[in-house]
Amino acid sequence: MVDVRTGYGQWVGSYEQTVEDAMDLEVLARLAVPGWGSVERAADLGCGTGRTGAWLRAQGVGAVDGVDLTPEMLAVARGKGAHDRLIEGDLAATGLPGEAYDLVISSLVDEHLADLAPLYREAFRLAGPGALFVLVGLHPHFIMAAGMPTHFDGADGSPIAITTHLHLVSDHLTAGLAAGWQLAEMREELVGDRWIALKPKWERHRHQPVSAAYVWRKPEQPRPADPSAAGDHALPGGAGR
């Protein structure tokens, strides 16, 4: 078991041949709410080698800024050229400008985070009013059913696992709502014929959830201040006591 930066630093050479579009890009394509072609600027948190950014650009997204912890993954993304800015850093504190994005996205990253709250909070800070936050990743049920963390084959062919954390669907809902997001759409994808064709051994997982996608919307108006916090028990409509 290795940490994220060590793991992806070693996986980078074979990462794109290993990861299946069915896990994330095909799920994104099935979402109903995002109007990808009308997005002017997106922030791609945990952008990796730029797969997500390249997909977004192909859907008509105007510009994408990316952040990632692993320099080797960023070097591949740089070569791909899908991103305007690429920043090496933690997605919980990106340094990107606040309220500057009409889409924030994070794909195949959340299982590496010990705590979801900082991701949801930073995404909320980056998003402009009415902007979307799209998160897609491994379904927690699948991590439990498969019984193994995210892993890849090392140079000698032996499996190397990268630190993986289990976040239930309710953990996502709790973190998203606490940060101020409103849930606009959610999809859970099951293992079906498409997956069995890619990975015949997954027949034993047929009909089980494999990935989950959440589409959050930032309210146009900031949340009203909690009246009880000010010791004022005003009635709706401002009638007061």
Binding site for ligand SAM (CB under 6 A): 4, 8, 19, 24, 46-48, 51-52, 67-70, 73, 90-91, 107-109, 112-113
The minimum distance between CB 241 and ligand SAM, in angstroms, equals 47
H or E element in which residue 46 lies: none
Residue closest to ligand SAM when measured from CB atoms: 48
Q: Which is nearer to ligand SAM, 8 or 36 (CB)?
A: 8
Q: Which is nearer to ligand SAM, 29 or 234 (CB)?
A: 29
Residue 104 CA to residue 44 CA, distance in Å, equals 6
Q: What is the DSSP letter of 35?
A: -
Q: Which is nearer to ligand SAM, 127 or 136 (CB)?
A: 136
The minimum distance between CB 109 and ligand SAM, in angstroms, equals 4
The minimum distance between CB 125 and ligand SAM, in angstroms, equals 15
The minimum distance between CB 230 and ligand SAM, in angstroms, equals 36
E runs forming strands in 39-126: 41-45, 63-68, 85-88, 101-107
- Burial (0-12, 13-18, 19+ Cβ within 10 Å), 55: buried
Q: What is the DSSP letter of 240?
A: -
Q: How far is CA 169 from the centre of its chain?
A: 13
Q: Which is nearer to ligand SAM, 65 or 90 (CB)?
A: 90
